[in-house]
Structures are given as structure tokens and as C-alpha cells.
Structure 1
């Protein structure tokens, strides 16, 4: 009820802080087509005529313009591990020997004692390893003033029982592109790589909605 009231009374600024009404922006991995070829300028009689297809000798056939394709070689391999442990021990005791004579002789001759102790031991560890290899061809989506290029692309493979999607986007330096117009994925800055799938196999590997609901409300 309180969440509903906040949603109704929140201003646009407050709604942005609370995360209300946010739309999930879909990442764009679509192919970028090259710009239209301008009409050729009339020949001026010189031997050298610089046209749209001109490339310097040292550039070869490397991607350098919007719409040019190049190949990303996926060589992703990451691993991480983490462990933590804690231990707590504490104890205390007290003893009292009551008097056996006089007005305070309330107990028999015996010792009264009290003691307490507590302890806690906790350990935790996590290990994760990922590897992704292969190749994917992308296109140049933008060329920046410093020469770096924004590249993006995706590959869709339709298998017998579903589809597999491989998507990548990031910044590439022309100097990292080899003579075969290929660049390693470890040389892609701000890389966003996604490998997903849909179909019978992907659905079978996911937990059902009812199981997720009971797991969410379970206190254990």
C-alpha cells in the first residue's frame, strides 16, 4: 500500500530516484550499412584520382570507415575466487560461597556458581571461471575524431531445438587490427559481449516461475 502511495505521489525527479517508471533500454547490435557513394567528381586530368575506394598503401584492407566489416576473435577467459572466514569465542564465570552462620545463612554450605560461553564460526568461499572462444564478424558503427571506432554486430545460429545469439559491441583502435582485418576481443575497449539462447533447451535449463516464487518468499 505504501509503495502504491509513493508511486502515485512521486514527482518525475523522485520517481527517477525511486526507480519508478524506468524503461529498460535495449542494446543495439544491428548491422551498420556504409554511407551512399557520392557521385564521382569529373576527372581533372591528373594521374592520381582520389575516389571513395582509395586506401593508403599502409592501410591495406583494414576496416576504417562506417559500414566496413571486421572480425572479432573471441579469446575471453576469466576466473575469480574469494574466501572468507570468521571465528568468535567468549566465556565467563562467577562463583559465590554463601555464609553458613548469621542472618545471611540462607543456603546450605555449598558453592553457588554461574558460567556462560558463546562461540561462532563462519566460512564462505566462491569460485567462478568463464571461457568463450570463436569468431564473429561486426561492422564499424562510428568513427571518432581520435581514430578509434565503435564496432557492433551479432550472430544468430538456429539449431534443432532453439536459437543461439552472440552479440558484441565496443571500441577498437585501428592499430590493433591485423593484416587479415581481425582483432582480438581482449583489445576491444568497453566490450559488451552477450551469449544467450532461446528455445526448448534454454527453457529446460531455467527454473519455473512457481519454484522461483516459493524460493523468493522462503525465509530459509
Structure 2
């Protein structure tokens, strides 16, 4: 009973939290709570090893990242890059199998020194030794299965370098939230990239991200309507039938 009471209290608390959003648009996730903010806040701005002399500060050919031909690609924690997500996958599988088998056996004793005739007299009416044993079997199997999948997603999101691993690989993470009326669409991307895979435009495609984690969903009134109520979710887990 104590476990049931605690469960009901937890469900009630969750319901109260949801009641606070009645008549209000869902709030954005604070950017100060993300890993991107901590990565940019703890890392100082990059300083060029080559300090330009006063006579070269206006030169277009200086080696600093801010120059006209400088390398602006993300390279250390706190830097920002653009992740290009263009997923257009489709797959189709079809399997078919067919199997059949049939068999027939019969055995009889029509004549054996008059013995079958003597036995037929002792057998019930309609019985005869002419077909003493007869078997017949037949089986068949047919199976057909198909799988069809089609996914298409085109997005661009800014990601922050969270950490630089000892082998030079960069760990990135990015998030984006767009609120339309009372629905917030959330896009989250994370993974590991090589610095050499980042283009001169400071962009990288999703297929060059190792361990990519891409999530696109939402929260708000539409999402709440599409999901079962909390009590129904708890009942689906607890009830054994």
C-alpha cells in the first residue's frame, strides 16, 4: 500500500506541474544550463601566436583568424560550427517463401492362401483385408513479408565544440528551439568530428559525425494531445493484462 500511495503522489505532482502550463506557451530551455554555455564561458578567446606589429594591423594577409584569409574553422572548446543535416534515406525489403509436401501410402492383403477371405467373414460388414492400411498426408506453407521505410529531413543547426579529445577529435553539441504558437520544436545534435572534415565555410555534414545523436521533436499542446495521459501510461505498465 505504501508503494501504491507513493506512486499516486508522484503522478499527482507530475499533473500539478503540467497544470502550470495551462493557457501558456511552453517555456524555452535556459541556454545557461547547456554544455555549450559552459564550454564558451570557460574558454578564453583564441589569441594568435604571431602578434602583428603596428604596421601590419591593417594588412589583409595577417595570420590571425579574423583576417580576410584567416582560418575560421572551429578548433577548440567554445568555438561554433554549422552542422548540415540532410537525411534522405529509403529502404525496401521483400521476402517470399513457399513450401509444399504430400505423401500417400496404402497396404492390403487381397489373397494369401485364402486367409484374408476367412478373416473377412469374421470382420464387421464393410471391412476387408484388401486395403488393410492406408495413409494420406499433405502439408503446405506460404510466407510473404515486406518492409518499406522512407525518411527525409533537411536542417541546419549551430553546434559548439564541447571538448577536444587527446587524439585531436572534437566533441560537439548543439541545440535549437523554435516556438510556433503553443508548440516548441526542438532539435538536438551531438557527436564527434575530425578537424580536417570541417569545411572552409566552417560547416560539417551529419554523415561525417561519429556517434551522431540527432533528435527532432517537440513539446506543447499538440504533443500532449498525441500522447496518452499519465494515468494511462502507469496503468499500461502495471496491469498484467
CA-to-aligned-CA distance 1:136-163 (integer Å, 9 cap, x gap): 0010001123332111011111122322
Q: 1:103 aligns with which of 119, 130, 133?
A: 119
CA-to-aligned-CA distance 1:142-201 (integer Å, 9 cap, x gap): 112333211101111112232211100111222222222211112212111111112222
Unaligned runs of 5+ residues in structure 2 are 1-32, 55-62, 111-115
Q: Does 1:90 align with 2:101?
A: yes
Q: Distance in 1 between matches of 2:156 and 2:144?
A: 41
TM-score of the superposed pair, with normalisation by structure 2: 0.61
Unaligned runs of 5+ residues in structure 1 are 1-27
Contact 1:29 1:167 in 2 (8 A): no
Residue matched to 1:202: 223
Structure 1 residue ranges (4+ consecutive) displaced by more than 6 angstroms after TM superposition = none
Larger Rg: 2
What do you get for the CA RMSD once the two structures are aligned?
3.5
Residue matched to 1:30: 35
Give the structure with the larger helix fraction: 2
TM-score of the superposed pair, with normalisation by structure 1: 0.67
Q: 1:125 aligns with which of 133, 136, 146?
A: 146
Equivalences for 1:1-220 in 2 at 5 Å? 30-31=35-36, 32-37=39-44, 47=53, 54-55=64-65, 60-99=71-110, 101-103=117-119, 106=123, 107-108=127-128, 111=131, 113-206=134-227, 209=232, 213=236
